[in-house]
Chain A
Amino acid sequence: MKITRLTVNQFKQFRQPVTLDNLTDGINLFVGPNESGKSTLVNAIRAAFFERYKSTGVANLQPWGDSAAAPEVEIDFEWQNQTWKLQKRFLKRQRCDLLIDQQHFSGDQAEEKLADLLGYQFASKGASKAEHWGIPGLLWVEQGCIQNIHLPVDHAGHHLKSALSGTLGDITSTGGDELIARVENERAALLTKTGQPTGELKKIQQECEQLQTQLIELNDKVQRYRTSVDRLGQLLQQRDEIDSQQPWLPYRAKAKEAEAALAAAQALQNEQQRDQQALKNCHSNLEFCQQQLRDFEQRAQQLSQRDAEKTKAARALAECQQFTAQLKQRRELAEQEFQKAKDALKAAREQINRRNLQREHDRLSEQLNQLRQNHQATAELQAALLKLRAQLQTQAVDDKQLARLKALHKELHEIHIREQAIATRLQYDLQPGKSIQIDDQAINGTGEQLLLKSTSISIPGVGTLQIHPGGKDINDLLRTRERLQAEAASVLTQLKVTSLAEAENHVTQNQQVAAQIDQHQTRLQMLAPKGVDAVVSDFKLAEQQHQSLTEELAKLPDAPAGAIDERQVETALATAEAVLKTAENANYEHLRELALRERECESANNEWQKLQAELQSPEHQSRQRESLDRLSHLKAEENQLRNAIQNRQKQIDSANPAILQQDVKRFTNSAESLENEAANRTVEISTLQVQLETLGAQGLDEAQNTIEQEFKRLSQRRQQLQRRASALDLLLNLLRENRQILTRQLQTPLQKHLNHYLNLLFPGATLTVDENLRPEILTRQNNNADLNALSFGAREQMGLISRLAYADLLNEAGRPTLIILDDALVHCDGERLEQMKRVLFDAGERHQVILFSCHPERWRGLGGGGENARQWKMMAIVFAVLLLPCLQPR
């Protein structure tokens, strides 16, 4: 298909007619700046085909603000050597005319013809939308939409497939996809996606299971019921056959017989036991009787024994009494000896005491003398000490005062020396007798006087001379001397002396006294180390002791003549004492033994007498006789019993009571078990009857029948539904498989064309298509990428390539193709664009491609320079045409 001419009038921005002329095969490139009307031309082509001429929804085709305009498009194109001429006017004076060669179509008929040719639909109402555009929607690409490929392919799908079916043979199906959808729906009513039962199928399966469970329960119940009925029948029969005969009665009778025999045997056994007991008693009586007799014999023996004992005790007593006098005498002798020794010791002791006292008295007298002397010496020393201490007190010189006095004397001496030195010397040498008076003191002879103060010298007869000694310190000296002299006088007063010498003399005397005191004190210390009072008290104490000792001595008797050895006396006493003690002990022991013998003798006597009396008594003798009688009696009884027991035992052994006992038990048990069986049967029968009555009232068989029928009905229904589900499953799978096969048949040629273009862009790459013939996965050097994941630029390129491939496919199927690109591939980089130009040029070999762009420089080289001069030239024309409206004022 080739558009040769396009005219628009009163169409959007073209208020005046504009015509594109001389369009050629292959690529037709139109360039112009923005808003120069490129997209309007594209719109015009689309409107001419897609919009119904009668449509009222196309007011947007009118130039802006011109509601009176009648947008008009004329397109001339060639297809299969026929010239098609389409004229369409919208909104006002609406028309559609189509002239195919000389054949004229108009209105709807013309429009349907176009739609059939190109493979698109009209909107049933209003403006045409993307879903109506079919194949042209895929091949005519609006500005900025080339990268979107999936939706346009979907919209074109049906037309594509029916257009392609010619080449592929009769394999597509008119209602196939819809059929699949319906089969899916039907299947979904019974099965889930994973093939699990759902909806009615699931419900009926559950119901069947429930019924089956109920049925099993019921069957079980019925079975139990039947078993119980059989059991009841059996029991009733047994009751009739066995229990009515009362088979336990014979056993009862036998048991009774055995019981009687047993009772007889037991009576014998009791008697036997009694006799055995009697024999036992007889034995013990015999024993007792014999014992008694033995006792009597023993008593007789005892009596003779006691007689012997009595004699023996009397003899022992007599023997003992022999020693009494002898022992007494010996003791008295020892007592006398002991007394003597005691007296001797006393005398010896007194003598020793007196001698000791005398010795003490002598010692005390001596001590007393000593103490007396001490006492006197001490008293003297003490008196001397008192005197000396008084003396020392009166002549006491204070050392400080004395030192001060000495210092004062020294200073006064110095002052005196200085006075000598500075004093005015008055040397005189008077005529003998002649005297002068110096300060009222008569002077004669020769001498010298030192004048320290104004001195008047009266020379009798001459007058008086007043001398005033010079020198500056003389007065100071005088004053100092006076002061010192005053002080010295005060010190002397205090020291209670008249001069220094006297004081020093006192000091010397004091020293001598002090030494004397020390001396006395040392002596006193020696005489009375514990003090003078101790000496006094010692003396007084000694005096008293002496006094008392003297008195004591006076009282003592005079000492006997001759010395007594105390130790000898003591030894003698100890010996005497020991002898006495032995004698006393012997005496004591003897007395004790004597008493013992007496008691023994008496007791033996008593014992003998008691027994003698007893044995001689008449009761004793009669008892002895009785015992003898009883013995013979008991022996007879024993004999009799032994015989009786022996005979009876024979009877018992023959009766055998143990076996009889077993017989009783055996017969009784047999009777009882038979009776119990009968009773149990009766109980079981009534239990079963009640139980069966209850079960019977439930109508089990009937219920079972009903449920069985229901189960059968539902099972059939389930089987039908299952079969339907399997059939739907099978059908769906087959439909899908076959559709898949078809799709693959369509995919193959498309794939071939895709790869053809793709190789120009990415050598070795492949682009797969999905079952809806949409490009899907781009594989370059083993790297797979979903189309949607590619960059915008790459998607643009893939979009264009895919469209060109569809065009090739349609071309092969003998369908018209026309490719319109409005500003495509704006995101291509330079290198890719060069490759895309190769792609486009290649496509231009088979299809008419109308390309609009505002980037002339990008499309240079498309078609290869001067060879397509006609196109370039035309492009220039178009450029001018397109610019025109832009320059016109609106």
Chain B
Amino acid sequence: MEARFTVVQRIAALATAEAVDAVLVAGDLFDAQNLSDRTLHRTFQLMAAYKGPWIVIPGNHDAALADSVWTQARRLGAIPANVHILLEPKLAVFAEQKIAILPAPLTQRQTYHDLTEWFDGADTPADCLRIGLAHGSVSGQLPESADAPNPISPARAQTARLDYLALGDWHGLKQIDERTWYSGTPEQERFKDNGAGHVLLVEIEKPSAPPQVTPHLVGQHQWIKRDFTLAVESDLANLFAELLQLPDMSVVDLTLRGQITLLDHQRLLQTLTAVQARHRSLQYQLADLRLQPTEEDIAALHADGYVGDVVEALRQRQASGDDEQAETAREALAILADLLSQSAPEVKA
């Protein structure tokens, strides 16, 4: 949550630093309709750090319904004067900046016709940049958009003679054509390596001039998902090296497979605990990592006599087809190793 505020702050700072004419938000400024008053106030207060106009349309998460986050914000009086929420599909001209905005706000959560159609026939002042602002799926362009709602024609920039069409909805950074871009979410929120975490700096010299688009990284946390298989002894060392190289404050999801000795397992847990402290979040799945006790383990842990038999029984259970049983056996083995190593302190040394 906190990260989302931070990114607004960063965008405002970047906009101020780059002295842009306006900041366009192509929908989903908020990811839900019903937010606490505090969240609304805080967001708008952070936006106010950039003095120029914020031009915002509602997306599918914050659609301009009969009662919405926008009516709520109005009621609260939270929206600063420089934030323009375009709730209706009507031309909005910013004379000072010489920008004519053609917005396609969502007034329902989902529509099945192209809300940008009217752009084609809309007239704008000749001296203003003609900018489209829409939220939805460009038909046939996005991997998951086969029959996605809120369709947008891929040729819209051309048919509507737009200087630029700013799109929202897709979480990653994506260019559709010369004048049409998805900026993606400025703060990543899922494990997908699709270039999320950026804003686009769009420079257009004059109407009809081609836009100059530069992505800027504003996201605070990297979402890193890694999948390692431990097969030979050196794999563990490689894993440790890689873990140390991860950027700080990342959100890490680690899945380990393969097999490991009891002693290495203990080392692995110690290392993971140490690495965890450096990141915003480090989760690891060890369910597919089989503990493979060695003679050395058993000797070091003094797992002699029937305890040794138990170790062997658990090891075999790990290999059983039943996932849950295997998982329980793995856990039991780890606990056993832990208990034994506590009673045989020399092992740790």
Residues in chain A within 8 A of chain B (CB atoms): 165, 170-176, 178-179, 182-183, 186, 222, 225-226, 228-233, 235-236, 688-689, 692-693, 695-703, 705, 723-724, 726-728, 730-731, 734-735, 738-739, 741-742
Return 22 A-B CB contacts under 8 Å, by A number.
A172-B305, A172-B306, A173-B303, A174-B304, A174-B305, A179-B339, A182-B339, A228-B67, A229-B68, A695-B34, A696-B33, A699-B39, A701-B35, A702-B32, A702-B34, A702-B36, A727-B334, A734-B313, A738-B306, A738-B309, A738-B310, A741-B309
Question: In the complex, which of the residues B34, B309, B314, B327 contacts A731, with contact meaning CB atoms closer than 8 Å?
Answer: B314
Bound form: Cα–Cα A734–B307 in Å: 9
Residues of A within 8 A of B72 (CB): 693, 696-697
CB contacts (< 8 Å) of B108 on chain A: these are 233
- Most chain-B CB neighbours within 10 Å: which of A176, A228, A692, A730? A730
Cα A229 to Cα B71 in complex, Å, equals: 12
Least CB distance from A491 to B in Å reads 169
Determine if B335 and A724 form an interchain contact, defined as CB atoms under 8 angstroms apart.
Answer: yes
CB of B335 to closest CB in A, whole Å: 6
In the bound complex, how far is the Cα of B249 from the Cα of A371, in angstroms?
182
Q: How far does the alpha carbon of A206 sit from the alpha carbon of B135 in the complex, in Å? A: 42
Known: A723-B331, A730-B329. A176 touches B67 (CB 8 A): no
Q: Are B328 and A723 in contact (CB under 8 A)?
A: yes
The reply to whether A696 and B34 contact each other, CB–CB distance below 8 Å, is yes
**A693-B75 in contact given A702-B32, A727-B332 (Cβ < 8 Å):** yes
- Residue in A179, A222, A700, A727 whose CB lies within 8 Å of B340: A179
Q: Which residue of B lies closest to A726 (CB)?
A: B328
Closest residue of chain A to B307 (Cβ to Cβ) is A173
B331 partner residues in chain A, CB cutoff 8 A = 723-724, 726-727
A229 and B67 form a contact (CB under 8 A): yes
Which among A172, A176, A693, A734 has the greatest number of chain B C-beta atoms within 10 A?
A: A734
The reply to whether B336 and A731 contact each other, CB–CB distance below 8 Å, is yes
Per DSSP, are chain A's interface residues mostly helix, strand or loop, or mixed? helix
> Which one of B66, B304, B313, B343 has the highest number of Cβ atoms from chain A below 10 Å of its Cβ?
B66
Q: Do A233 and B307 contact each other (CB < 8 Å), given the known contacts A699-B34, A701-B32?
A: no
- Given the interface pairs A696-B71, A734-B310, the reply to whether A174 lies near B302 with Cβ below 8 Å is yes
- Tell me if B300 counts as interface (CB < 8 A to partner A): no
Chain A's closest residue to B61 (CB) is: A701
- If A179-B339, A698-B34 touch, whether A693 touches B67 (CB-CB below 8 Å) is yes
Chain B, residue nearest A235 (CB):
B66
Contact B34 A176 (CB under 8 A): no
B327 in contact with A723 (CB, 8 Å): yes
Of listed A727, A735, A742, residue having the most chain B CB within 10 A: A727
State how many angstroms separate the Cβ of A800 from the closest Cβ of chain B: 31
Task: Give CA–CA (A732, B65) in the complex, Å.
Answer: 59
Cα separation A738 to B305 with both chains bound (whole Å): 9
Say whether B332 contacts A728, CB under 8 Å: yes
Across the interface, name the chain B residue whose C-beta is closest to A734: B310
- Taking a contact as CB atoms under 8 Å apart, the answer to whether B308 and A173 are in contact is yes
Among candidates B34, B38, B314, residue contacting A734 with C-beta atoms closer than 8 Å: B314
B9-43 vs A: 1/0 string, CB under 8 Å? 00000000000000000000000111111110000
Partner pick for A689 among B34, B67, B330, CB 8 A cutoff? B67
Contacts of A696 in B (CB 8 A): 33-34, 67, 71-72, 75
Q: Given that A693-B67, A724-B331, A741-B306 are known contacts, is A701 also in contact with B34, CB under 8 Å in the complex? A: yes
Identify the closest chain A residue to B33 (Cβ). Answer: A701
Contact B36 A699 (CB under 8 A): yes
Query: Within 8 Å CB of A698, what residues of B?
Result: 34
Further pairs besides A171-B305, A175-B343, A724-B335: 16, Cβ < 8 Å: A171-B306, A176-B306, A179-B336, A229-B65, A232-B67, A696-B75, A700-B34, A702-B39, A727-B331, A727-B332, A730-B328, A730-B329, A734-B313, A734-B314, A735-B306, A735-B307
Contact in complex: A230, B332 (CB < 8 Å): no
A176 touches B307 (CB 8 A): yes
- B35 and A173 within 8 A (CB): no
The 8 A-B residue pairs whose C-beta atoms are closest, nearest first, are: A173-B305, A699-B36, A701-B32, A232-B66, A727-B331, A738-B306, A692-B67, A727-B332
Residues of B within 8 A of A226 (CB): 33
**Which residue of A is nearest B338, CB measured?**
A186
Which residue from chain A places its CB closest to the CB of B329 in the assembled complex?
A: A730
Known: A695-B34, A697-B37, A701-B34. A728 touches B306 (CB 8 A): no
Interchain nearest-CB distance for B252 vs A (Å): 15
CA distance A688 to B71 in the complex (A): 13
Q: Which interface class (under 10, 10 to 19, 20 to 34, 35 or more) fits B?
A: 35 or more
Q: Are A173 and B34 in contact (CB under 8 A)?
A: no
How far is B304's CA from A742's CA once the two chains are assembled, in angstroms? 12
A705 x B306 contact (CB < 8 A): no
Instruction: Please indicate the chain B residues that have their CB under 8 angstroms from the CB of A697 in the complex.
Output: 37, 72
In the bound complex, do residue B32 and residue A705 qualify as a contact, i.e. CB atoms below 8 Å apart? yes
Contact of B66 among A233, A699, A700, A723 (CB under 8 A): A233
- Residues of chain A with a CB closer than 8 A to B307's CB: 173, 175-176, 179, 735, 738
Determine how close the nearest CB of chain B comes to the CB of A707; give it in whole angstroms.
13
Alpha-carbon distance A724/B329, docked complex (angstroms): 10
Which of A222, A693, A738 has most chain B Cβ within 10 Å?
A738
Whether B310 pairs with A170 at a CB distance below 8 angstroms is: no
> Which of A172, A688, A700, A731 is close to B310, meaning CB atoms less than 8 Å apart?
A731
Give the chain A neighbours of B314 by CB distance below 8 A: 730-731, 734
The one of A182, A692, A742 in contact with B306, judged by C-beta atoms closer than 8 angstroms, is: A742
Taking a contact as CB atoms under 8 Å apart, the answer to whether B305 and A742 are in contact is yes
Instruction: Report the bound CA distance from A126 to B36 in whole Å.
Output: 73
Q: Say how far A231's CB is from chain B's closest CB, in angstroms.
A: 8
Q: B284-310 interface mask toward A, CB cutoff 8 Å, 1 = contact, 0 = none?
A: 000000000000000000111111111
The CA-CA distance from A225 to B71 in the complex, in Å, is: 14
A101 to B325 CA separation, bound complex (whole angstroms)? 60
Least Cβ–Cβ distance between B176 and chain A, in angstroms: 30
Of all chain B residues, the one with the shortest Cβ separation from A171 is B305
* Interchain CB contact under 8 A, A229 and B332: no
Residues of chain A lying within 8 A (CB to CB) of residue B339: 179, 182-183, 186
Interface residues in B262-320 (C-beta closer than 8 Å to A): 302-310, 313-314, 317
**In whole angstroms, what is the CA distance A179 to B311 when docked?**
13
Q: How far is the CA of A735 from the CA of B302 in the complex (A)?
A: 15
Compute how far the CA of A409 lies from the CA of B332 in the bound complex, rounded to whole angstroms: 174
Task: Please give, as numbers and ranges, the residues of chain B lying within 8 Å of A174 by CB-CB distance.
Answer: 302, 304-305
Q: In the complex, which of the residues B304, B308, B317, B327 has the most CB atoms of chain A within 10 Å of its own CB atom?
A: B304
B298 smallest CB distance to A (angstroms): 11
Taking the closest CB of chain A, its distance from the CB of B85, in whole angstroms, is: 16
> Which residues of B lie under 8 Å from residue A236 when comparing CB positions?
66
With a cutoff of 8 Å between Cβ atoms, the chain B residues found around residue A705 in the complex are: 32
Q: When each residue 62-86 of chain B gets 1 if its CB lies under 8 Å from chain A and 0 otherwise, what string results?
A: 0001111001100100000000000
CA distance A859 to B37 in the complex (A): 101
- Chain B nearest CB from A469 CB (Å) reads 183
Q: Which residue of B lies closest to A161 (CB)?
A: B305
Could you say which residues of chain B place their CB within 8 Å of the CB of A179? Answer: 307, 336, 339-340, 343
Instruction: Tell me the bound Cα distance from A233 to B330 in angstroms.
Output: 56
User: A175 contacts B302, CB within 8 Å?
Assistant: yes
Complex Cα–Cα for A230 and B336 (A): 57
Cβ of B37 and Cβ of A229 under 8 Å apart? no
- B305 x A222 contact (CB < 8 A): no
**Among B36, B68, B307, B310: residue with most chain A CB under 10 A:** B310
B-chain residues with CB within 8 Å of residue A175 when the two chains form the complex: 302, 307, 340, 343
Q: Which residues of B contact A700 (CB under 8 A)?
A: 34
**How distant is the Cα of A731 from the Cα of B306 in the complex, in angstroms?**
12
Which residue of A is nearest B36, CB measured? A699
Residues of B within 8 A of A703 (CB): 36
Shortest distance from the beta carbon of A266 to any chain B beta carbon, whole Å: 50
Bound-state Cα–Cα, A525 to B322, Å: 162
CA distance A882 to B35 in the complex (A): 102
A731 and chain B: residue at smallest CB distance: B332
The smallest C-beta distance from B129 to any residue of chain A, in angstroms, reads 33
Q: Which A residues touch B38, using CB under 8 A? A: 699
**C-alpha spacing A502/B328, complex, angstroms:** 178
